[in-house]
Amino acid sequence: MSRFIFKTDFPIRPTQRTLTSEATHMTTKLLLACTLLCATLHAQTQQTQPAPTTPAHPATVEQIHQYYAITHSIETAHKVMDQMVTAMQSTAPSYLPQNFWDDLRQSINAVDLEGAFIPAYQKYFSEEDMNAVLGFYKSPAGQHMLEAQPLISSYAQQELREIGQKIGQEVYLRHKDEIEAARNKYEESQHPEATPDTTPAPTPPTQKQ
């Protein structure tokens, strides 16, 4: 799950333009995250091979409705997006009004994700393909897979987190001296020592006799 961290140097009483810019920035981040989410939910349909030709008899809208009903993909997508909004709200500037967040949630929930994805399924799945897919998910093995997937995903996230931390520490230790030198050089450039003033002192004026 993506984590959103927002840093701001805005004044306590921002202008409307600042509020609009901040809201747009956060909404853009959310939409990008949702795009990644949708790509993850449908990763099984993605291939590195050239795209196949559109089937002569594409999957029907009813078949696709059944697919989403069985896999609960749309409900999961909306739930994850709502969690993203909650995470954003917890780290966003406190001056953003509650009605902004309420409107954002309502607007996201109103998006017809199922309708948006139907053309993609009809482009890559034939009626026969979708019948086979539905048959699998309706079978005991398919149902078991749906039940196990959230648990497997949770396990995979934990494993990836630990692997990432381990690799990050190992790489840091390999470059520790280099990093320390770069940090010292950066800090010196941010706080240069005062250059001694070599300008000669002015000559005192000569007193008139």
Written as tens digits, the pLDDT of the chain (209 aa) is: 444 434 444 443 444 444 445 555 555 555 555 555 555 555 555 555 666 788 999 999 999 999 999 999 888 888 888 888 898 899 888 888 999 999 999 998 888 988 988 999 999 999 999 999 999 999 999 999 999 988 998 899 889 889 999 999 999 999 999 999 999 999 988 886 655 566 666 666 665 55
Cα–Cα distance for residue pair 75/162, rounded to 1 Å:
29
Where are the domains positioned within the chain? 17-43+52-138, 148-187
In one-letter notation, the amino acid at residue 19 is L
Angle between helix 113-124 and 73-91 (nearest 10): 130
* Whole-model pTM over 0.85: no
- Cα 10 to Cα 95: distance, rounded to the nearest angstrom: 10
What pLDDT is attached to residue 16? 44
Type of residue numbered 190? Q
